[in-house]
Structure 1
Amino acid sequence: MTEDILWLGINAKYSHTSLAIRYLREAVPGSRILELTINHQLLDMLGEIYEQQPKVLGISCYIWNIEVVKRLLRLLPAALPDTVIICGGPEVSYGTADFMRDFPMVDYVLRGEGEESIRQLTSQLLTCQFDRSKVNALLDQSEIRGIAWRGADGTVHEGHDVTVADLAAVPFAYREDEMADICERILYYETSRGCPFSCAYCLSCATAGVRYLPLERVFAELDFFVRHDVRQVKFVDRTFNAKKSHFLPILKYLLALPDSCRTNFHFEVAIDYLDEEVLTVLGQLPKGRVQLEIGIQSTNEQVLKAVSRVNHWADIKAHINRIMSFHNMHLHVDLIIGLPREGMASFQRSFNDVYELQTDMLQLGFLKFLKGAAMMNLVTPYGYQYMPMAPYEVLVTDALSYGEIRWFHSFEMVFELYYNAGRCRKTANYIIREQEDGDAFAFWQKFTDWWEEKGFHKIGHSTKNLYGYLRDFASQAYALDRKLLDNLLRYDALLADGGRIRPENLDWNRQNYQDITADFWKGAPSRVREYLPGYEFTNWRDVNKKYHIEIFAYNVMEAEDKTLTSQRTAVLFDYTAAEPVDQTISLDLDGMAKK
């Protein structure tokens, strides 16, 4: 009978997986799961659910899918009129009565953490042979904590949201027989629930305390992921390093994994709370084993105080610089646009502070007003206006007009296409240093204004065109020599996107030095091995796939910290590693190799 119960997860992307529906599947043995994405056509979704013919359909509701879920719910009664519908998740755990009144086809709502309450509800549904009226009558007599339902008279009883007191009681979410199908996707995992901090914009502020899984179980479950060669395990612990006696043994476990392990583990950390012992372990990790996400949000102390957050900026900066020096992990930092009191000037300072760190990614997010979060109490004091539907993004603040918020969306688009995509960083940073006296925000602000003047914020763009756009903007805004820009942009193109993108509007030296580079590859192997140990010439296709030599009119490899001057330079790019490796090589650019 439990095979008649289907849990539906609608993910933001195909590469994601749903942790919530897997928990429910394990809580109700024999039940099934179905994963779709928000990119599916609505009627295709309805058709896939119909094919399963569930007698009970449970839908996981989050900020990224709730608008799709609402549209789907209105279609379900026509396709599956007798199916019992259960919704759960953060989007329906608050304002539950209103949700159930607006969507009368929803029979029950799981409020809060549902792994224990769903066992009781499904047990009653099975006992009553999926008869809603009988189950509701039982609930009228003895409610199940964490369940909202409709009474015999149609009245919505909200019940109470619940948490699972003993996290160890929650079953492991993944199964052996599904791993071959999902090991290349992002698998979400948690070792704790709750957060020691109370940031107003985060839903974790609604739950007091932090609960942890026993370490013995964590190690066994991590073994499971490693054994199945999972590409990435993304921890959803709100603050992974909240308790050193919990997180440090996990880091040491990861350190002890064999070099053959390819699994990447993603954590969100409060980096200012790391100590020397933890930093030492992080420095010893193999490259790519771990990546860290660091929520900075703002560097303005008054802004942070307004949302009940405390940052220790000196420690954050020192620890990020220290970890960056390890060159063994991806660092992702966050800023939030629209925080109280954070106007354009304040955000400019925050942006410049964080940009200076040159982390792998600087994500610019827009403040959201999540149901149940304390941010809702700040709407009136700070004059907020925000979207009434998901994703509930800010529209107006006490310090930013709608026009400025709208402009920031273009700013974020430009920044994503270039910096966060790993493109044109050398060029941008050279201009920032040489032309803007280090003011990164001023550069990206001018670029965004130019972008909007061209109407580029309204259309899509091919990667190849991005290089030409930056060259045209910089030539116009800073009167920079186009030859210098061409050299910098060619250098950037060969370092980004695996070197596969060769924009046609740049001056590639495909013919000018062909004989010289051919002589380098086919000459004495010992000469090449000075730069590429173990090199053996096989065929031109193999060479062209793995390596590239480009001749520049400037010593572009000094772009990080020097003003460039004319100096013909040969640079070898090696694409055999996970990230391109570039190095200067010695060639006689007048026609003969020196070695």
Structure 2
Amino acid sequence: MRVFLVTLHSKFIHASLALPYLAAYGREAVEAKISLGEFTVHEPKEQIIAAILAEQPDIVAFSIYIWNRRMTLEVADAIATIAPGVQIVLGGPEISFDGPELFQRHPGVTGLIRGEGEAPFREFLQRRAKGIDPAGVPRTLWRTAEGLVEGPSSPPLADLDAIPSPFAAELVDLSRGFVYLETSRGCPYQCSFCMSSLDPGVRSFSMERIRSDLDILMTREIPKIKLVDRTFNYDPLRAEEIFAFILKNNRSSHFHFEIGANLLDGATIRLLKQVPEGMFQFEIGIQSASPDTLKAIRRPITLEKIHDNLERLRRETRITLHLDLIAGLPHEGYSRFLSSMDRIQALAPHHLQIEPVKLLPGSPLRREARERGIRFDPNPPYTVLTTPQLSFVEMEKLRGLSRLVDLTYNSGNFSGFLAGLAARCGSFSNALEKLQTFWSHRRLFRFPLQQRDIFERLREFVEEQFAAEEALVLKELLACDLARCERPAGEGMPALFDTSLTAAEQAAVQKKVREESAKVKGLGIKIQHFATVFCHLPQFHPRTVVLFIYRIQTGKRMTVEEVRLRIE
């Protein structure tokens, strides 16, 4: 029996964890060749079909998600047409709540697995190997000659260690530089927009298993390890033990965790002070700063405690903080959402993500949508379109704000300019609203922009929207930001700099550059520089030459030093 497990990623760098789990658990039960096929949605469909058929499979099982549903079903239909004897099985979060209509639209589909797939898929393989009809396997919907047969419900695996480690079995592709790791399943929260609200509590792999998997990945020096636990620190003592193990044994890997900020305790924060810069990133779903909204989505968190813990993390640790807000939730209109955004941005996270809520199949919020007056796109990714508190036009404005947050705030390259703009507009959200109006009128959301293009558009925005003196100050802030992230040189540079240095100023610049070059001679460090005049920012009155020194070394990030030269 030849079994081919298939998924289509959104990016090549992603490596599946679900398929290796299925293969590891299935191999223990049956004598079969179980192979994995990982493709992307960007590959030609015909090439994917050819690669699958080249395996000469008896069974093809597809793992389906929001981003690959349409293309996966097209591939499945083609496989069924070309090789009607192949059994096609579907599973994954995107397909788990489909029913008979799926089988009507896709007559080549043999079976559907609901929820966690390891146990039902293994039982299906066992029955198939023994020649027993698989119809009736728990948590499956199966096509038979007599019609569709729905299997009974069943609990998920209680002992996660029963699934052999896919890392120890060398089933996970570790060559892509990015690996998913799971240490627990389920979530302590019951948020109505999230599929994890359907899980019966939280289950954890044993600490022995967690250490073993981590040791494999850290020994291989995987560049980025993303923990997919819904709330990694649901048990603070468990989380602290894992953090300590990583700190003791990590070589060079970067770790991404999703945590609950309100669950952090003093002991954990004290431990996290030891984390070196660049090792940990915390993604924290605030979702909303409105108590009414949090109550409506059944997310019982204390905003004050979250605020205090985030301030401590930002002040006392070197952990990268990524905070999430969700637009379109119940009871949160446009102005209230902007208030949430200002409150969260004031915590100075390194990244701020703003996304419209997705009404996922099977989620409680989707079931409540009609009652709550929420309208959403019926096609993946099922994004909210309007709510009683939020019109479609307002939702589009929030999408624009989200895009601008990504282009400016999250890039880390516009911090001075954004602070100055927010001060003049009254708030961070007011500043982005003003910028969003300009971006929309110029139709700039339609096309991708390179970094220099963004600086140039911001220069045009400032000159169009602000009086002369304010514009001069904002443009100097923009110029400082640009010089801090790249050396201004070449064609296409925004007209932000005054490089008309006097002879004395030029001599001072050259002297300083010679001194800095002498310091790094023989160290494999290349020195570049850029000098400009600033006059309008208070710290540069009445005239200051600022020398930016760029140190470039192979294999390391460029560093920038800013030197102020006052020539008497």
Q: What is the CA–CA distance in structure 2 between the aligned matches of 1:87 and 1:321, rounded to whole Å?
A: 45
Give the AA of the match of 1:542: K
1:542 and 2:526 correspond: yes
Q: Find the counterpart in structure 1 of residue 44 from structure 2.
A: 41
Q: What is the CA–CA distance in structure 2 between the aligned matches of 1:205 and 1:37, rounded to whole Å?
A: 29
Q: What is the CA–CA distance in structure 1 between the aligned matches of 2:510 and 2:247, rounded to whole Å?
A: 43
> 3-state DSSP class of the match of 2:358?
coil
Q: Find the counterpart in structure 2 of residue 485 from structure 1.
A: 474
> 3-state DSSP class of the match of 1:465?
helix
Q: Find the counterpart in structure 2 of residue 446 from structure 1.
A: 434
Give the AA of the match of 1:487: E
Q: Find the counterpart in structure 1 of residue 97 from structure 2.
A: 94
Q: What is the CA–CA distance in structure 1 between the aligned matches of 2:567 and 2:539, rounded to whole Å?
A: 23
User: How much does 1:103 deviate?
Assistant: 1.9
Map 1:410-425 → 2, pairs under 5 A: 410-425=400-415
> 3-state DSSP class of the match of 1:8?
strand
> 3-state DSSP class of the match of 2:118?
coil
Q: Find the counterpart in structure 2 of residue 325 from structure 1.
A: 315
Q: Find the counterpart in structure 2 of residue 315 from structure 1.
A: 305
> 3-state DSSP class of the match of 2:6?
strand
Structure 1 residues 501 and 191: alpha-carbon distance in aligned structure 2, compared to 1, 3 A threshold: farther
Cα distance per residue 1:230-277 (max 9 Å; x no partner): 01111111101101231110011122125xx11011111110121110
- With structure 2 as the length reference, what TM-score do the two structures score? 0.91
Structure 1 residues 10 and 99: alpha-carbon distance in aligned structure 2, compared to 1, 3 A threshold: same
User: How much does 1:168 deviate?
Assistant: 1.1
> 3-state DSSP class of the match of 1:187?
strand
Map 1:190-589 → 2, pairs under 5 A: 190-257=182-249, 261-326=251-316, 328-433=318-423, 435-437=424-426, 439-481=427-469, 482-496=471-485, 504-508=493-497, 512=501, 516-523=508-515, 535-536=520-521, 542-544=526-528, 548-554=529-535, 565-574=541-550, 582-585=560-563, 587=565, 589=567
- With structure 1 as the length reference, what TM-score do the two structures score? 0.87
Q: What is the CA–CA distance in structure 2 between the aligned matches of 1:497 and 1:146, rounded to whole Å?
A: 55
Q: What is the CA–CA distance in structure 1 between the aligned matches of 2:527 and 2:181, rounded to whole Å?
A: 41
Q: What is the CA–CA distance in structure 2 between the aligned matches of 1:498 and 1:120, rounded to whole Å?
A: 61
> 3-state DSSP class of the match of 2:372?
coil
1:149 and 2:142 correspond: yes
Q: Find the counterpart in structure 2 of residue 22 from structure 1.
A: 20
Give the AA of the match of 1:104: P
Map 1:91-170 → 2, pairs under 5 A: 91-128=94-131, 135=132, 138-140=133-135, 143-160=136-153, 162-170=155-163
Maintained 8 Å contact 2:487/2:550: no
Q: Find the counterpart in structure 2 of residue 593 from structure 1.
A: none
Query: Which structure 2 residue ranges, 5 or more long, are not aligned?
Result: 28-32
User: How much does 1:23 deviate?
Assistant: 0.8
Instruction: Give the superposed CA RMSD.
Output: 2.7
Maintained 8 Å contact 2:215/2:249: no
| Deviates further, 47-56 or 32-41 | 47-56
Give the AA of the match of 2:389: A
Cα distance per residue 1:386-407 (max 9 Å; x no partner): 0111100001111111121122
Maintained 8 Å contact 2:500/2:532: no
User: How much does 1:515 deviate?
Assistant: 5.2
Q: Find the counterpart in structure 2 of residue 7 from structure 1.
A: 5
| Deviates further, 326-335 or 575-584 | 575-584
Maintained 8 Å contact 1:111/1:161: no
Structure 1 residues 80 and 524: alpha-carbon distance in aligned structure 2, compared to 1, 3 A threshold: closer
Structure 1 residues 360 and 54: alpha-carbon distance in aligned structure 2, compared to 1, 3 A threshold: same
Give the AA of the match of 1:570: V
Give the AA of the match of 2:495: L
Q: What is the CA–CA distance in structure 2 between the aligned matches of 1:581 and 1:324, rounded to whole Å?
A: 22
| Deviates further, 109-118 or 338-347 | 109-118
| Deviates further, 506-515 or 329-338 | 506-515
Q: What is the CA–CA distance in structure 2 between the aligned matches of 1:497 and 1:40, rounded to whole Å?
A: 34
Q: What is the CA–CA distance in structure 2 between the aligned matches of 1:107 and 1:421, rounded to whole Å?
A: 46
Structure 1 residues 464 and 71: alpha-carbon distance in aligned structure 2, compared to 1, 3 A threshold: same
User: How much does 1:225 deviate?
Assistant: 0.3
Maintained 8 Å contact 2:120/2:137: yes
User: How much does 1:98 deviate?
Assistant: 3.0
Cα distance per residue 1:439-463 (max 9 Å; x no partner): 1111101111111111112223222
Q: What is the CA–CA distance in structure 1 between the aligned matches of 2:473 and 2:407, rounded to whole Å?
A: 22
Give the AA of the match of 1:146: R
Q: What is the CA–CA distance in structure 2 between the aligned matches of 1:471 and 1:401, rounded to whole Å?
A: 31
Q: What is the CA–CA distance in structure 2 between the aligned matches of 1:285 and 1:372, rounded to whole Å?
A: 39
User: How much does 1:409 deviate?
Assistant: 2.0
Q: What is the CA–CA distance in structure 1 between the aligned matches of 2:440 and 2:383, rounded to whole Å?
A: 22
> 3-state DSSP class of the match of 1:62?
coil
Cα distance per residue 1:530-581 (max 9 Å; x no partner): xxxxx33678x8223xxx444341596xxxxx78744414244555696665
Q: What is the CA–CA distance in structure 1 between the aligned matches of 2:151 and 2:64, rounded to whole Å?
A: 17
Structure 1 residues 497 and 219: alpha-carbon distance in aligned structure 2, compared to 1, 3 A threshold: farther
> 3-state DSSP class of the match of 1:6?
strand
Cα distance per residue 1:348-403 (max 9 Å; x no partner): 11010011112111001111111121112321232111011110000111111112
> 3-state DSSP class of the match of 2:482?
helix
> 3-state DSSP class of the match of 1:395?
strand
Cα distance per residue 1:495-520 (max 9 Å; x no partner): 33798998512345678466544432
Q: What is the CA–CA distance in structure 2 between the aligned matches of 1:397 and 1:436, rounded to whole Å?
A: 28
